[in-house]
């Protein structure tokens, strides 16, 4: 595709591909090295996988930290070692006595801020080794529960022994663990049989495209029509236009006053800083003791952002 691209691509991942499979294919298509994804999606899951190109990778943390939405189908009565349909069955119980009311009661305990134990079959590390590698070797280690947030957990369909959940959650949530924990609460066991990610931060799967479609667009020379500017990831932050002098200071990593936009600023408040000609210069954070705005990410972009004129507060 020629010159290096700074952008975000919204991919609808197919079942069977790993997140890194998607990254490798996009790398080949765009011909550049700096490509990453905004949050792992298991191979057996489908749905939204944002892919960052160029300096958009430096904003990836905003995707990782963002809320996500999922649509997951759970089978009651069967527990597996991976908590999903890819694993070995470890226990079976008759779930015929489980009622919809019992499921709803159990879901109540899984909403809000909860403690969740990651599955052994995960990419987390223990003493430098991936948990899934240890699990495949027959080794199980103790995993400390982690505090995670479940903002919404609704039963979309009840078709026993299966049920479908709609989940909105924060970072670090394993939907497989959620399925397993639900089965434990109901006393019959359960595992995840299908999962689709619907949203990550500002991206929704309805506006995502398949890898095959992206390849077609690359071959046609029109791939830019489906790329988002990097600052699309931080549109939730306020924006400021900076003077040429302030721009120089920020690009040198120096804190600047951004006067008169300091009077009402809150400590650690963050903003997008744009040059007078609409280029994203930096992300800045207000330091109240210094009464200055400190850059915490600085960019050397030469491209004007489409969000500069409509968003900048002057």
DSSP state of 293: E
Cβ neighbours around 296 below 10 Å, total: 11
List 6, 42, 84, 231, catalytic entry? 42
Alpha helices in 96-150 (DSSP H): 100-108, 131-136
CB atoms within 10 A of CB 133: 13
What burial class does residue 311 get, using C-beta atoms within 10 Å of its C-beta: 0-12 exposed, 13-18 middle, 19+ buried?
middle
Query: Would you call 42 a catalytic residue per the annotation?
Result: yes
Q: Which residues contact 227 (CB under 8 A, 6 or more apart)?
A: 5, 7, 8, 9, 53
HSE (side-chain half, CA atoms, 13 Å) at 179: 31
Assigned token pair, 208: 């995502």
**Is the peptide bond preceding residue 260 cis, with omega within 30 degrees of 0?**
yes
Q: Which residues are catalytic?
A: 42
């Amino acid at each position: 595709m020629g010159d290096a691209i700074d952008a975000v691509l919204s991919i609808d991942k197919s079942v069977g591909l790993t997140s890194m499979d998607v990254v490798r294919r996009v790398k080949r298509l765009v011909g550049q090295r700096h490509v990453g994804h905004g949050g792992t999606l298991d191979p057996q899951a489908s749905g939204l996988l944002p892919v960052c190109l160029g300096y958009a990778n430096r904003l990836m943390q905003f995707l990782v930290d963002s809320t996500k939405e999922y649509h997951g189908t759970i089978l009651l009565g069967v527990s597996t070692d991976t908590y999903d349909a890819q694993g070995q069955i470890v226990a079976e119980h008759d779930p015929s006595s489980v009622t919809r009311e019992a499921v709803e009661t159990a879901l109540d305990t899984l909403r809000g801020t909860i403690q969740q134990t990651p599955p052994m079959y995960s990419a987390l590390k223990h003493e430098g080794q991936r948990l899934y590698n240890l699990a495949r070797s027959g080794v199980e280690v103790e995993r400390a529960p982690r505090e995670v947030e479940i903002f919404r957990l609704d039963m979309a369909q009840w078709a026993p022994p299966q049920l479908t959940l709609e989940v909105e959650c924060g970072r670090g949530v394993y939907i497989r663990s959620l399925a397993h924990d639900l089965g434990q609460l109901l006393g019959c066991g359960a595992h995840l049989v299908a999962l689709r990610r619907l949203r990550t931060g500002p991206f929704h799967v309805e506006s995502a495209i398949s890898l095959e479609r992206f390849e077609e667009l690359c071959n046609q020379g029109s791939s830019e029509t489906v790329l988002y500017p990097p600052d699309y990831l931080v549109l939730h932050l306020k924006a400021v236009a900076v003077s040429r002098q302030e721009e120089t200071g920020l690009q040198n990593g120096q804190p600047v006053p951004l006067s008169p936009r300091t009077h009402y600023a809150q400590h650690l408040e963050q903003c997008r800083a744009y040059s007078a000609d609409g280029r994203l210069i930096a992300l800045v954070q207000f330091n109240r003791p210094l009464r200055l705005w400190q850059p915490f990410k600085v960019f050397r972009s030469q491209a004007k952002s489409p969000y500069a004129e409509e968003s900048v507060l002057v």
